[in-house]
Each structure stands twice: as structure tokens, then as C-alpha cells.
Structure 1
Amino acid sequence: MDIPFSHRGSWFGISPVVAENTWADDLHLVSHRHGMHAILRFTVPGAAVTATPALLSWQRGDGRIDLVYQDPDTVRLRGHRLGLRIAAAAGTLTPFSGTYLYRDPVDGSHVFTSYETGRRYRVTVVAGELASARGAEALGTAERFLDLPADRDWELAIEEFGTARRPYRGAAPFDRLHDTARATFAAFADAVAPWRSPATPAAERAASVLWSATVDPAGFVTRPAVLMSKHWMNKVWSWDHCFNALALAAGEPELARHQFLLPFDHQDDSGALPDSVTHAEVLHNFVKPPIHGWAWQRLRRLGPPISRLDPATIYRRLAAWTRFWLDFRRAPGHELPHYQHGNDSGWDNATTFDGERVVESADLAAFLILQLRCLAELATELGETGAGWTPIADRIRDAMLDELWTGERFEARGAFSGRRRPSTSLLDLMPIVLGDDLPAPIAAALARGIERHLTPHGPATEPVTSADYAADGYWQGPIWAPSTVLIEDGLRRAGQTGLADEISRRFRALCERSGFAENFDARTGAGLRDRAYTWTASSYLILAAAHEQRRG
């Protein structure tokens, strides 16, 4: 079960993943408020688990349990000839951690209340009755669980809420809830991937990753948001969101606008975007690369629904983000901006940052050039005369070519030492994103370099022949979705369409075979790390939609 079973808007899901890279035998109700916390454990010994976007099922022999979302904070379960134990996932209750169980004298329901999430999870029997209950009002290490019987049918509801809620009085019949959930997801899939066909077999699955990872506004999440995952990568990072916005824009423009703008809601006085946003925290310890001008230009090309967003708002926010790099990330007398750490680039441990971490790199310069040119266009539309974005872009472009180009590839330079250090990272080839803003010979050289990174599954972040290559080395070997999309787009705009087509084909085939992992083994194509990562699903949708459009 690679994709957590959840519902658009919900802050919890049903998943075997209970902590980072920790998979349990049982399924758990996992909340993404205040971090990631397994709250309830569902135990059905010997049962097989299956899931569609609308229905989760346990089956053993002729017994079956089904689970469906009634709404984002309520699930209904129905059992036939199969028992179920619902237990507190935490084994110990202390004054500062764990889950307390009590029986509510108002309606007779059983309520698990979680210290970690600050929420309550009420279990109400809708039909049938409990077989047993243990641990109500117990403290310490006592077991806390409810048992549903295997010898008779039953149905119940589990609700997540805050301090109090009116007693559960039932809703539509279970089958009608299932029909509604199925229709709701189908409408979403039809909106974001109307072009899907047997030739794009992963499109509906990609849509389900996005749909199930979407949460309603809560805490620091100021808008409806697509989390990067409802496994443990349950944040919005300030470049990941751009790819989700692009995948959603054509069919869900309102949700796409929210994805693009969410990090800007937390832009600080310097103009910097946060590193990440989640329910309970906004982190500013790092930033992410300024791909937002590139993303906005692509969003605008997708049509009027996105273009209707107030251009003055976009201009103001992009301008502040750009000035951050110009004012706070350029050493005195330098035209080129710098990263303070690999994390700022999004390529945390790329070999570009071996030796020195504070570097002026060509990928950063290229992204900033694109953003400056985007601002110049917006300024013209808004009648902002004398903004001066184009001359700055030209100077940074000239400096990038004069100071970092070796004749075959770019090399990053220490912001303090001034030393250029060669690396074999794909990051040093990322200036291909400039497309036709590059001299043709340089674009051709970058394309040749990208070909040397190409495996049967897509472009490896470190060549598989490199001494620094590591199969599960994060940005030192595996294939990643964002770099693939950026490279494919830049190659296409540089006229290198044959290579762009091949990269798109290989990456789409990789997702169709291996799903939507955070990254992939470059040699085998196996999915690595988080197995339900939304920017990977979005990248598949972006590339597949463009391919289908080209096929006409």
C-alpha cells in the first residue's frame, strides 16, 4: 500500500507507515497535524488489504471490512464476518504524550484523545455492537482498545474533532457514501487528466496521489494545500509546490493558484520564502531555488483561469523574492548570487557542494535570470516604467557565461575563495532551463552533458560511472522528478527536442512501472524513499499532458 488512503481535505489518512521509513504490519490512522503521528491501530489478523481512491478493504475468506470517507474528518467502517481491533497506537500514556480512551456519557461513544495532535477521535457504533472494550480511563501502560465482532455484522463511524461535537447521528447509507466518494474522485481525475487513455496508464493513479494528499486550511497552512505526501514528507516546500500547481492548473485552476501562492503567505521582510510550511511550523533556516518566475510563465501559458490572478500581486511578491537574492545573496562587487548550503538549492548533498557549501552556481543564476525576465514582462503589462529588471538579468547572464563556463559545462565557484571546483553533478547542467536565452553552442554542449547522465529510466543526478555515484544517494545518483521536468522544458525551448522527447518518454515509463516515489534508483528504476510523493505524480501529469497535446 504505497499510497496512503485518504480524502481530499483530510488531515489524516490510513497507512502502514507510522514514522519515517517505518512500515508496520497493521494499518494505522495517521494524523499530519503537529508533525506525523500514528493515533489508532487497526488489526485484522491474516487479512489482505486492497484500496481504490474511494474504498479501503480488508478481506479474509468470506469476511470483509470496508472503510470509506464520509467527509474529510469522518470515516465509516462496515464489517461482515470479520472482526477488527481498534487500539491506541501509543503503548504508554503520560501527562505529555500518548492517547487516552474514555467512554462519553452523553452518547455512549468511545473517544480516543491524542496529546500529540490535540484532537479527539470518536468511535460511534452505527449498527451492531462492540464485542469488548478495554482501557477506558486507564493511565500508564494499560491496553486501550475496542474489539468489533467476527460473528455478526457491524458498522461504525470514526470522527476527528477538537473539544466537542454533537453526537453522531448517522448520515447516508454506506454504499451511497462510497458512490459519492468514487464520483468525487472521478470528477477530480477528469479535471486534471481529461486526456488519459490506455497510453497513459499511470495518470489516474497520479491524480489519486494529489487528491489524497490535499488538506484543508489549518494552522500555518493558510490555503487548501497539496502536501508533498501523507507519509512522512508531510510539508509544503518552497519549490515543490510549483510542480503541483503546474499539474493542477488546467483542470483545477483555483487549487493551482493556492499551491503557487501558499509559501508567499509566509514571505518575510527580506523577501525570502520559507524553506517549508506545515500545520504547526514555518521554517526559515534555508530557502529554496527561485524557480517561481519559470513556473509562473508556464502557468500563464496554460490559459485564462490562471492568468486572471491579479498580476500586480504576483509582481509584488516575485519582486520581493528576487530582491532577496539580489540584496542578501550577492557578495559585494559580485554579480552572481550564491547559495549558503546545498539545501538552498533543493539538491541537498549534490557533489557541486563538496568542498565548499557557500557557492555561486550557474543553476541559481539561470533561475534568477528567468525570474528577472518574468518580472520585466509583468512590469511592462502593469506600466511599471524604469523597473530595470532586464539590465540586471543581462548582467547576471554575462557573468554566468564569463565566470562559470568552462567550454563544456558550468562549474560552481566558492563565494569566499573564488575557486571553481569541477563536479560531475547534473546540477551544473541545469542552466539548460534558459533555453533559447543561451548561445546555441552552449546549449548544445549542455545537451551533450545531459546525455551522459541519461540512463534507461531518465537523467541520473550523478553519472552511474562516477566515483561519487550512490544508488540511494539522494542527489548523488538517483533520478528526481523536478530536475527531469526542468531539463526537459529547457531542452525543448533550446531546440533540442529529440533529447527532450526521449527524457519525457523514459521518465513517464519509469513512473508507470515504479510509481511515484520521492526518487528512483538510476540503474534499476526502483522507487526510493517516500513512495507517494506528489511532485513526482505532478511531474508525470505535466509530461504526459504535454506529450498528449503534441500528439494532437
Structure 2
Amino acid sequence: MNDMTRFDRDEAARAILARNDRGGYTVPTDRLYPFQWNWDSAFVAIGFALFDADRAYRELERLVEGQWDDGMIPHIVFHAPSDTYFPGPEVWGTRHRIPTSGITQPPVFGMALRQVHEAAVKAGLPQAQERTSALFQAALRSHRWWLRARDPDSLGLVAILHPWESGSDNSPAWDVALARVPTTTTTTIRRKDTGHVDAAMRPRDEDYQRFIHLVDTYRDCGWDPQRQWAAAPFKIADVQMTAILARATADLMHLAETFGSAEERTELSDIHRRLLDGLARRWRPELSRFVSLDLISGEDVDAPTQACFMPLVALRLDDVQRKAVTAEIERWHQGLIVGLPTTPSFSPAFEPKRYWRGPVWAVVNWLIADGLRLNGAEDLARRIEQGTVGAIERAGFCEYFDPTTGEGLGGDAFSWTAAAYMVLRRRAGSSGAGAEAP
């Protein structure tokens, strides 16, 4: 692809962010996801930071409008009404000053804040220090909530109480644990997603029944974290969530050198060490990957999914681990048009078109490439980035991609895919970008 075409595609990516802008916050895509989503907005802010640091700050500031008093940043902020999505605010029944969902999502916020701040300083943006300082405190409150509410037993692993919190809603990683959740609900389910996207690309109806049963359960707890923890029929200490939190903590440690007190710097360092220690214990050499822990059964979650590689964004592996992980990732790529699949093609659970059961997601590849670079696997990181960029250039800014054909799937004109394209296109042609961590 020539430079002019690349330039045009970059402009198209910016146009998607503009198209999905709803007044300082960005929806993932029109109709299918008509509100502000937590980790989507963090990735989008990093994309905005490439050309508009002020707008990048605004994305994070609008997200923090939905932060709860206890520090949790919800997975959805319902800034404006829409009837094209289920479950809406009336189902969640939360009592925040702005309508929100009652659960959270991967805490990419801290990672985004560091990159937005550095872009703003480079651009000489007025009030960058003040804006970063306020958002740093919001991020710190969020990280404290994670440790208090989702690791009360100090395992060094934070738990999810709903598959939606993981961001990987219907991943095979949750099949065993989710099967224990009843399909009965007190909420009438009115799915809207299959009216926008082929049902073959979305979670099954049975999955949704279990998803909404969990919402009913936690709503009945009044969204109190301690009551939810005690009542949860689904409770997974998730290595993907823990790894992202650990990496975001490392980025907050960097910002704390300027924006934090001595006590806050010590606190973040303690959080970081606790999470790294917890992650390190989840390595399984016989599998060449990390595994989550089902806190109800006490069993390892050994289903092969992208989450097994996410600890690379936070941990520095030893030589034996590094060799094993890179070989395993190479194995997952074999015979595919585009990798990294969220479930490998050799798994019985692999479905190349169904949401998180096989398709390739640009933001997952973004994080895993970061982790590979952090661990010295520069060539593999660049190949993943180049493959992701190529898939987007062939199929468009789709929500996700069929790894066996490269076909674009799910929603189109997708915000975080546009942001990922702008970031990864730059990284794929350069060395060492995006991999720094304390």
C-alpha cells in the first residue's frame, strides 16, 4: 500500500472518531453500542492523543464523570438515552448521579492517562499538568477499589464477578464457571444486538440468560461490593484483568513521580508488587501460558484464550518462559490469515466468527504486542502489529476479524479499531515503541 493510501486510511480513522463523538465522549459504534464504554474510551483516548491531546483528555474526563464514590469506574456510562441497546440503565438500577452500569471493565485508564499526558506535554497543551493531576487521583481511587473490592483475600489477583467485566464476554475461559449460573431471570430479556449484527457473530441466548441472572443477583445486593462478593455465583481471579491493572499501576507509578505524594508512590509500588507476585504464580510451564483461577471451584481455568498471554504486558519473563510463550503464540498463528485468535483453531471451542471465541481483536493484539516488546520479542510483536494493520486495511474498521479468512465482523466504523490502526500503523514500522514500563 502506497503512502497516499496509508494517509487516506489514517484520515478515515480520524473520521470514524469524529463520527462517533457524542460531545466529548466516543461511542464504540452507532446503534450497537450507543453509550460510553470504559476500556473502549481508554484506547480511543490514546488514539486521539496522536493528533488532539485536548480531545484525548476530554474522553477520559467524561468517563470519570461516571466514577462511583467508592472509586469504581463502571463499564458503561449512560450520558444520553438510547433505545438501541439492552440492558439499559433501567435494568441496572444503579443510584449514581449519572446513570451507569453496576460493573466495571479492564482498567486501561491508567495506561491511557500516561500516554495522553506525555502527548499533551510534547504538544505544549495549556493546563496539561492540572488535568493530569485530577485524572491521576481518579485513577488512584480506581486502583484502590480494585484491591479492596476484588482481591479481599490479598491473592495478588483481582476477580471478575461477571463475564462482561473481562471485556471478553463469551470467551471459552468462562464456559465451566458460567454453566453453574442459572438461566432464570427476573428481568425480561430484549436483546437488541442481534438486530444490528448477525446472531452467528454474537453470544448465544443461553449466555445472555446467565449474563442477566448475574445482573439481577448484584442489583438485589444493592451493588454493594461486599454483598456482591458473598453472593457471586461467578467469581474468577482473571490473569488478563490483573495484568492490565498491573501495567496500568506501573504507568501510574511513572506519573506519581510528578503528581503523587511520597505516600502515594509507596502505595502504588506496593500494589504493583502484589499484582506481579500474584501473576507470576499463575504460570503453567506444561501449557506454556498463564491461567486464571476459579475462586468458587478452586480449579485452574486452563482453556486456551488470549488472556493466557496478557501477563506479558506486566511481567518480565525469564528466558525459559519467553521461549515457551513465543513458541506457543507462533503455534496459534499457524494456518491463519490473521492472528492472534482469541481462541486457537486447535481448540474444540474455536468459532472463527463468534465474538470472543476465536476472532481477532485489534486492541488485544495491541496489548499483546506491547507485552512481547517488553519481553524482547521485537520481531513477533511487529509481525502481529503488521498483520493487524493489514487486516484493517483489507476489511475496514470492523469490530473484529475472522482469523481464517480475514473477513471483518461485528459492528463497523468501530472507534477502538480506528484508534488501534493509527497506533499500530506507526509502531509496525518503528522499533521499541509502546513497550516501556517501570
Q: TM-score, normalised by structure 2?
A: 0.74
Matched, 1:198 2:15: no
The answer as to whether partners of 2:170 and 2:355 remain within 8 angstroms in 1 is: yes
Map of 1:329 onto structure 2: 150
The answer as to whether partners of 1:200 and 1:544 remain within 8 angstroms in 2 is: no
The share of aligned pairs that are identical, in percent, is 26
Map of 2:102 onto structure 1: 285
Shift of 1:363: 1.5
The 1:200–1:423 alpha-carbon spacing in structure 2 relative to 1, beyond 3 Å, is: farther
The answer as to whether partners of 1:458 and 1:503 remain within 8 angstroms in 2 is: yes
Alignment of 1:173-188 (within 5 A): none
Q: More deviation in 493-502 or 199-208?
A: 199-208
Instruction: Give CA-to-partner distance per residue, 1:229-277, whole Å, 9 cap, x none.
Output: 1242222210001111111112111111111222111100121111112
The answer as to whether partners of 1:242 and 1:260 remain within 8 angstroms in 2 is: yes
Shift of 1:290: 1.2
The 1:266–1:383 alpha-carbon spacing in structure 2 relative to 1, beyond 3 Å, is: closer
Map of 2:308 onto structure 1: 428
SS at match of 2:382: helix
The 1:312–1:299 alpha-carbon spacing in structure 2 relative to 1, beyond 3 Å, is: closer
Alignment of 1:265-414 (within 5 A): 265-278=65-78, 279-280=80-81, 281=89, 282-304=99-121, 305=123, 308-356=129-177, 357-382=234-259, 384-387=261-264, 388-402=267-281, 404-407=282-285, 408-414=288-294
State the number of aligned residues: 349
Map of 1:540 onto structure 2: 421
Partner residue of 2:377 out of 493, 496, 499: 496
Instruction: Give CA-to-partner distance per residue, 1:274-295, whole Å, 9 cap, x none.
Output: 1112312533232101122222
Matched, 1:472 2:349: no
Find the aligned partners of 1:449 and 1:351 in 2 and give their Cα distance: 18
Whichever of the two has the greater Rg, that structure is 1
SS at match of 1:475: coil
The one-letter amino acid of 1:369's match is A
Find the aligned partners of 2:54 and 2:173 in 1 and give their Cα distance: 38
The one-letter amino acid of 2:390's match is A
The answer as to whether partners of 1:359 and 1:413 remain within 8 angstroms in 2 is: yes
The one-letter amino acid of 1:397's match is L
Shift of 1:206: 1.7
The one-letter amino acid of 1:253's match is A
Matched, 1:225 2:25: yes
Map of 1:119 onto structure 2: none
The answer as to whether partners of 1:432 and 1:446 remain within 8 angstroms in 2 is: no
Matched, 1:509 2:387: no
The answer as to whether partners of 1:270 and 1:324 remain within 8 angstroms in 2 is: yes
Matched, 1:450 2:329: yes
The 1:362–1:201 alpha-carbon spacing in structure 2 relative to 1, beyond 3 Å, is: same
The one-letter amino acid of 1:470's match is E
The answer as to whether partners of 1:432 and 1:443 remain within 8 angstroms in 2 is: no
Q: TM-score, normalised by structure 1?
A: 0.60
The 1:446–1:314 alpha-carbon spacing in structure 2 relative to 1, beyond 3 Å, is: farther
The answer as to whether partners of 1:264 and 1:317 remain within 8 angstroms in 2 is: yes
SS at match of 1:247: helix
Find the aligned partners of 2:432 and 2:29 in 1 and give their Cα distance: 31
Partner residue of 1:419 out of 292, 299, 302: 299
Shift of 1:440: 4.2
The answer as to whether partners of 2:279 and 2:311 remain within 8 angstroms in 1 is: no
Shift of 1:551: 12
Find the aligned partners of 1:440 and 1:428 in 2 and give their Cα distance: 18
Shift of 1:212: 1.5
The 1:309–1:196 alpha-carbon spacing in structure 2 relative to 1, beyond 3 Å, is: farther
Find the aligned partners of 1:331 and 1:383 in 2 and give their Cα distance: 25
Find the aligned partners of 1:365 and 1:233 in 2 and give their Cα distance: 26
Shift of 1:322: 0.3
Shift of 1:537: 1.2
Q: Which one has a larger percent helix, Structure 1 or Structure 2?
A: 2
Shift of 1:196: 6.0
The one-letter amino acid of 1:254's match is D
Shift of 1:371: 2.5
The answer as to whether partners of 2:56 and 2:116 remain within 8 angstroms in 1 is: no
Q: Indicate the structure whose relative CO is greater, using CA pairs within 8 Å and at least 6 residues apart.
A: 2
The 1:418–1:239 alpha-carbon spacing in structure 2 relative to 1, beyond 3 Å, is: same
Find the aligned partners of 1:296 and 1:197 in 2 and give their Cα distance: 31
Map of 1:526 onto structure 2: 407
SS at match of 2:77: strand
Q: 5+ unaligned residues in a row in structure 2: which ranges?
A: 82-88, 90-98, 178-233, 434-438
Find the aligned partners of 1:196 and 1:254 in 2 and give their Cα distance: 28
Map of 1:28 onto structure 2: none
The one-letter amino acid of 2:324's match is A
The one-letter amino acid of 2:171's match is A
The 1:439–1:260 alpha-carbon spacing in structure 2 relative to 1, beyond 3 Å, is: farther
Map of 2:366 onto structure 1: 485
Find the aligned partners of 1:363 and 1:488 in 2 and give their Cα distance: 14
SS at match of 2:289: coil
The answer as to whether partners of 1:426 and 1:453 remain within 8 angstroms in 2 is: no
The answer as to whether partners of 1:339 and 1:360 remain within 8 angstroms in 2 is: yes
Shift of 1:308: 3.8
RMSD value, Cα: 2.3
SS at match of 1:226: coil
Q: Which one has a larger percent strand, Structure 1 or Structure 2?
A: 1
